[in-house]
Amino acid sequence: MIDISYVITVYNKAAYMEPMLNGLERQSGDFSREYIFVDDGSTDNSVDLIRERTKGWENVRIIQQENGGISVATNTGGFAAQGEFIKIVDADDVLTHYASRRMLEMMREHELDHLSAKWVLSDDVEADALKQDDDSGHVTIITDPLREFIKRGMAGSTSTMVRTSTFKEMGGADPEVFVQDVSIPLRVAARGKMASTDLLAVIGPRDVDGRMMGAHPTMVYTMSANMYHFLRDHPDVSVDLQRLAFKRCAGRAWKWAKREQGKGVLSKDFYLYLMAQLPIWSQTAPWIKETLHTWDKEEIRHPPKRG
């Protein structure tokens, strides 16, 4: 069996990929590996660059598909993976040379389904990645992953590793949302063993076109949309966690409506926020769905509809 399947999703990232490819090539360790590049409908020369740069590499596959978004591209690569573990890699991020080796050791030692490592942003990803040589990170087991997710949230892409069998059994990332960063840890949290590590595994570029972080409306919306889809599909989640999820989503929506849209206490957003404080709900997916309307007039990226 292959030890690690690298799943690299690509969409018009030719300008950023050389450091990422260098980082993949530098991965140290005596483990078997395959590389699955999923080009999500790029219109630049990303695919040509991958083909040229990976000449001589073993076990390379390049899958080209119509643009469907990061979640769909991640699933394409993840379902094609043959390794024991999947190492997702964004096309503009750079792995420290020890990242895969150490994360693989941690996954096996603690029999994990999902591991999140440390990552930082940089103005010079290549130079900063080359400076890193401390592979002494320690592991913190998350004792109640679903509760931890709902209380504090989890997200990550290149900084994570997931067991391939778990990824496939849970259906991969949520295909109903554009970004995969949140849905994968949420889906694992319902069934698997999870941990975090302070090992620095990823250096990301500070300024990249299309990066979805912080207050980007697509990312904020996705946090709540993922939770709605999850609770819709898992109605047996405990009542206390359902209520907590409603509070978190309603609070997120009200905060956005107040700060970004100038809405007040007579708005539906505030009404839902008040409703979420009442300890009377047992099934909260329909209520969380209502909070998503806060972003109706925002520019949210969704997976393209087919057919």
Residues 6 or more apart whose CB falls under 8 angstroms from that of 207 comprise 123
Phi, psi for 168 (deg, rounded to 5): -70, -40
Q: Do the Cβ atoms of 187 and 174 come closer than 8 Å? A: yes
How many angstroms separate the CA atoms of 112 and 99, rounded? 16
Residue 211 pLDDT class (50, 70, 90 cuts)? low
How many angstroms separate the CA atoms of 143 and 24, rounded? 32
How many angstroms separate the CA atoms of 148 and 159, rounded? 18
Confidence at residue 216, expressed as pLDDT on a 0 to 100 scale = 86
- Taking residues 199-210, what's their average pLDDT? 85
Q: Which residues pair with 87 in a beta bridge?
A: 6
Residue whose token pair is 């040379």: 97
pLDDT at 234 over 60: yes
Residue whose token pair is 């595994």: 201
Confidence at residue 1, expressed as pLDDT on a 0 to 100 scale = 86
> pTM of the prediction?
0.94
Domain ranges for the chain: 2-205, 217-295
Residues 6 or more apart whose CB falls under 8 angstroms from that of 25 comprise 57
Confidence at residue 307, expressed as pLDDT on a 0 to 100 scale = 59
Q: Which residues pair with 64 in a beta bridge?
A: 39
Tally of CB atoms within 10 A around 109: 9
Residue 135: DSSP 8-state: -
**pLDDT more than 70, % of the chain:** 97
How many angstroms separate the CA atoms of 85 and 110, rounded? 14
Model confidence pLDDT, tens digit, residues 249-293: 999 999 999 999 999 999 999 999 999 999 999 999 999 999 999
Q: Do the Cβ atoms of 46 and 91 come closer than 8 Å? A: yes
pLDDT at 112 over 70: yes
Q: Do the Cβ atoms of 197 and 139 come closer than 8 Å? A: yes
pLDDT at 212 over 60: no
Residues 6 or more apart whose CB falls under 8 angstroms from that of 116 comprise 154, 156, 159, 160, 185, 194, 195, 196, 197
Model confidence pLDDT, tens digit, residues 52-111: 999 999 999 999 999 999 999 999 999 999 999 999 999 999 999 999 999 999 999 999
pLDDT at 304 over 90: no
pLDDT at 208 over 80: no
Question: Counting beta carbons within 10 angstroms of the beta carbon of residue 37, is it exposed (0 to 12), middle (13 to 18) or buried (19 or more)?
Answer: buried
Q: Do the Cβ atoms of 23 and 95 come closer than 8 Å? A: yes
N-term to C-term CA, the chain? 37
Averaged confidence pLDDT in the chain: 95
Q: Which residues pair with 40 in a beta bridge?
A: 65
Q: What is the CATH code for 2-205?
A: 3.90.550.10
- Taking residues 196-207, what's their average pLDDT? 94
Residue 292: DSSP 8-state: G
Confidence at residue 49, expressed as pLDDT on a 0 to 100 scale = 97
How many angstroms separate the CA atoms of 160 and 273, rounded? 33
Model confidence pLDDT, tens digit, residues 133-171: 999 999 999 999 999 999 999 999 999 999 999 999 999
| Alpha-carbon dihedral sign for residues 179, 180, 186, 187 | positive
